[in-house]
Amino acid sequence: MNTLKHIYYPIIVLLLLLWIPVALDKIVNFNSFSTGILNQPFNKNLAFIAIYSLPVLEFATVALLVFKKYRKWGFALSSVLMFVFTSYVALALLGTWEKLPCGCGSVISGLSWIQHFWFNILFLSISVIGYIVNSKIIGYKYLLSTKINLSLKTYQK
């Protein structure tokens, strides 16, 4: 159990170090972010949805990861977002589109497409591992409380 906690908290910190600056960058540099999204090779309606939903989803991920009760959902949302971003980069690397500007901000904007792909794979893996470790910790606490309750009931008889 202690081994899981030694993995668990650094995972939360790493994900917060990813999502907080990424979400803030989209708000602080909103014009640049929205222009970057509008230059992407997909439908403009989808682009407008992405412009307004991505910062909200990223801040939601942060909030869910911060509150212990909702961490499972934070890890899940982080995993879904990273899967979508990784899939998009993979399609770009496969040459799905002729012209592909990077709409990313912060440190990520300086990465090549290959580096971006591996960066995303890393954080996708971290998110999934976080979800699994969180489930094991919650499951362990549930099993422990059930065993205590069962042993107390047996002792009371």
Structure tokens at 91: 């399609």
Residue recorded with tokens 């908290």: 9
pLDDT bucket at 79, cuts 50 / 70 / 90: very high
Q: What pLDDT score was predicted for residue 152?
A: 47
Average pLDDT of the chain, as a whole number: 87
Question: Is residue 141 pLDDT above 70, yes or no?
Answer: no
Domain encompassing residue 146: 2-156
Residues sharing a CB contact under 8 Å with residue 133, sequence separation 6 or more, in sequence order: 4, 7, 8, 11
Q: What pLDDT score was predicted for residue 129?
A: 96
Looking at the structure of the chain, the number of domains it has is 1
Structure tokens at 39: 């230059």
Question: Is residue 36 pLDDT above 70, yes or no?
Answer: yes
Q: What pLDDT score was predicted for residue 153?
A: 53
8 Å CB contact between 90 and 119: no
Structure tokens at 35: 């222009």
